[in-house]
Structure 1
Amino acid sequence: MRDAPLEFVTAMAAHGDVTRHDADGEPVYMLHRPDLARHVLKENGAAYTKDRTPDDDMLRPLLGNGLLTSNGAEWAAQRRMCAPAFRPAEVDRFDRVIVEAAEHLVAHWDGGRPVRVDHDLTSLTLTVIVKAMLGTDIGVAGEGFGRAVDAVNRFIGHYVPSDDPDPADTAARYAGFHRARTFLDRVTRVIIAARRAGGAGDDLLGAMLAEGHTMSDADLRDQVLTIIMAGHETTAKSLTWTLYLLDRNPEAARAVHAEIDEVLEGRSPTAADLPRLRRCRQAVQEAMRLYPPVWLISRRGTADDVLDGYDVPAGSLVCVSPWVLHRDPRYWAEPDAYRPERFDPDRAARLLSHQYLPFGGGPRICVGRHFALVEATLVLAVILRGLRMELVAGFPVEPEALVTLRPRHGLMMIPRPR
């Protein structure tokens, strides 16, 4: 599981819809069918928690007790506080922030030289989420923030056994994680302090500050860092995979370019264009099927359960892999092929519940899913309005399953004028 996680979960699914293996002396149940995922994440979700799961173990050292890691009544209260900022009407008003950041990136890419697409898109989405949700310009701290995020992901995304054969390497990675976490803490606290001094504002951080009498500085830090991390990392990776897949699939790329030309006629996109930028949105949705940002979802049972006829005792770890569900030939024709038309509205309406889980499922489905799709669609339209992104010849592209699913070696592409 540690050495080759995607291969491992794929191999487990070949044994049946419910499998069990032992890890660290405890049984782990894996579910490989949409209705079973629905049962654990939604229908019987009250009997499962994120507490003491791999998700929790990876995220809590950095994010504390924020929206991604809290449970029960505390999570419900945090969700209620954050949800209004992510309503469609609220999200659409940030179209200018998104488009301006994307246009700045395209101008930076001018010249046809190879660019590190994954890093640049991470900086872009970081800028957008901080401006939109926290009312702050992260400025020169953005590049350092991106490097710190990479360092954190590489530490918390690996399962390292207690008998690690190279303790010096472990010590070095832990030191890197500690430095990165310290940097992220400082930036987050500066953002909070600046907003306290400048007034609440009409955004998510403003809403949290308005409830300051019930939120400690530590609580605010956890929530702000959670919003920053969850709000930029998965969108950046989804856009990265989209550009890669469009380059590998010229017919799909031509369809996206044609739509952008027809809808925009050379101008900048706005939220009003989103209903007509269907192929752009579908290109992202299909990329998230093949390369789901969250490739494994874990829960721990708080009560005995029965899954497809198998007794699962309380305390068991139960996992669902979107990577597996999204590539199951029982539910997807040509599952390994990139076919954005799968998400035409009529076809998408026929998908089974929890067959497609790029944002998770059930009550804990990602609160920012609409924001992510709006941002990704507009950014893709801006980039491909005047550019054709071409993979550097011979550049190795291999998925790496850390906290999110990312290209192991990054992604080097050449922006070519259309």
Structure 2
Amino acid sequence: MTATHAPAGTVPPGPDTAVDMARMRADPLAFVTGMHRTYGDITSHVSEGERVYMLHRPDLVRHVLKDNTANYTKAGTPDDAMLRQLLGNGLLTSDGADWARQRKQCAPAFRRTAVTTFDGIITEETEALLERWRPALADGTALSLEHHLSSLTLAILTRAVLGVDTGAVGDGFGRAVDTVNQSMVQYVPTPDPDPQGTALRRRQYVQARLFLQLIARTVIASRRSAGGGQPPEQAAASLLDALIGRLDDEELRDQVLTLVMAGHETTAKTLTWTLYLLDRHPAEAERIRAEVDAVLGDRTPTAADLPGLVHCRRAVEEAMRLYPPAWLISRRAKGPDTIGGYDIPAGALVCISQWVLHRHPGYWDRPDAYVPDRFADADLPSHLYLPFGGGERICIGQHLALVEATLVLAVLMRAVRLELEPGFPVEPEALVTLRPKHGMRMTVRPR
């Protein structure tokens, strides 16, 4: 991959001793940041008896995710171990021929042309959220913003993509997602320092998983009762209609749960971080309000307004840079490879952190600052900015996520101000997704 090659048997730089798993698990963001700052753009460390390789430069990342992607698999990775127990063999966890088939089945629902037709559902559900906020707007009660946004994005996803209205189930779904996110940690120290606490978390996880699976089955049953699975001329088309009849019940449940989890959780967290950052940067918030007033006036936005909502979109893109919904990608090498001059053996675990890439000082000016205008004329190196992953497995819902987040932001910023509750602690926590550790309590104020 490069003109130089390290001597045979040489491994990328890293700690001389095995990594303390408890410390890594306690603050994985500090760990990946420290590895890059201390050892450079390609590093390695020993974890639970195996050597792990980490890539912190876009050309190295591109090699794994795109140029030599056939040599790398999700099977047997920490990502796979965490997600498969919840999602089964859906689009996010499947590999090889299974993944290719599932991707082909789902792709039509997420094309740009299809996504723009969801604009009415997006704005209708957002206006309904504002209506539910009326009591809090009147009495100044702080809201758990992340749960409200999770309910919103769940409602949008299920209506737009699956053709089912989930109604009031959103709040319970959000709490269940919180529980499984807390439970599906990537690094488990051995021996377990808190076996009793682990047993309690496991029970909570099992209960939350059963609830999420129940929701998936309810969504499927609801669509079937409405005529889903019939030929297009006999029933309103949705992705779920296309899958019913092609998949058995277990496959259908796995796919629906995957689409619902991946399709609403990441967008909800993106909006949560965006609204937090805009509250912390009032000048940027005012630019968005001025743009919304100029483009929309008093009317509701549509997909046709997206080209004019440039500050809204940049605000979202910059939030995803600083707080990428997925903060780590892992792959297994099927066969030997050479990356950055180092030999990578077959079976090796190779990891990529969007958290590190998105704050790499060699590629970003003021990497820790919130500067939405950096996306005005961004000409970024391939595989530097990866909020949706990269290569052939790039997130199938990326177009929907950007359209949805931009329109939701425009509707909210036109109507209200969201202010962080005074003294409320905000700290990113790297679980399955990058979430605010303590939630995000914000007060709704009149515009």
With the length of structure 2 as denominator, give the TM-score of the two structures: 0.91
Aligned with 1:10 (options 7, 20, 33)? 33
Moved more, 108-117 or 222-231: 108-117
TM superposition shift of 1:113: 2.3
Distance 2:179 2:164 in 1: 24
Aligned with 1:207 (options 242, 252, 275)? 242
Distance 1:289 1:410 in 2: 20
Is 1:339 the counterpart of 2:371? The answer is yes
Matched to 1:53, the amino acid is T
TM superposition shift of 1:375: 0.4
TM superposition shift of 1:158: 4.7
Distance 1:230 1:298 in 2: 17
Distance 2:179 2:152 in 1: 18
Is 1:143 the counterpart of 2:175? The answer is no
Aligned with 2:86 (options 49, 53, 62)? 62
TM superposition shift of 1:205: 0.4
Distance 2:440 2:227 in 1: 40
Task: Give ranges in structure 2 of 5+ residues lacking alignment.
Answer: 1-23, 229-235
Match of 2:295 in 1: 263
Task: Give ranges in structure 1 of 5+ residues lacking alignment.
Answer: none
Aligned with 1:253 (options 276, 285, 310)? 285
TM superposition shift of 1:141: 2.1
Identity %, equivalent residues: 61
1:114-153 equivalence runs, <5 A: 114-153=142-181
TM superposition shift of 1:143: 1.7
With the length of structure 1 as denominator, give the TM-score of the two structures: 0.97
Are 2:271 and 2:409, in contact at CA under 8 Å, matched by a contact in 1?
yes
Distance 1:382 1:240 in 2: 15
Distance 1:141 1:398 in 2: 28
Match of 1:220 in 2: 252
Match of 2:361 in 1: 329
Matched to 1:26, the amino acid is E
Is 1:380 the counterpart of 2:421? The answer is no
Computing the radius of gyration over CA atoms, which structure comes out larger, 1 or 2? 2
1:353-364 equivalence runs, <5 A: 353-364=382-393
RMSD of aligned Cα (Å):
1.0
Distance 1:187 1:33 in 2: 40
Write out the 4+ residue segments of structure 1 that deviate beyond 6 Å after TM superposition: none
Match of 2:12 in 1: none
Match of 1:38 in 2: 62
Moved more, 105-114 or 51-60: 105-114
Q: What are the Cα deviations for residues 311-348 of structure 1, in whole angstroms up to 9, with x where unaligned?
A: 0001000001010000011100000110111111xx22
Match of 2:438 in 1: 409
Q: What are the Cα deviations for residues 94-113 of structure 1, in whole angstroms up to 9, with x where unaligned?
A: 11111011111112223232
Aligned with 1:80 (options 85, 92, 104)? 104
Match of 1:194 in 2: 222
1:146-161 equivalence runs, <5 A: 146-161=174-189
Matched to 1:55, the amino acid is D
Distance 2:46 2:195 in 1: 24
Distance 2:112 2:143 in 1: 33
Moved more, 148-157 or 315-324: 148-157
Distance 1:254 1:196 in 2: 46
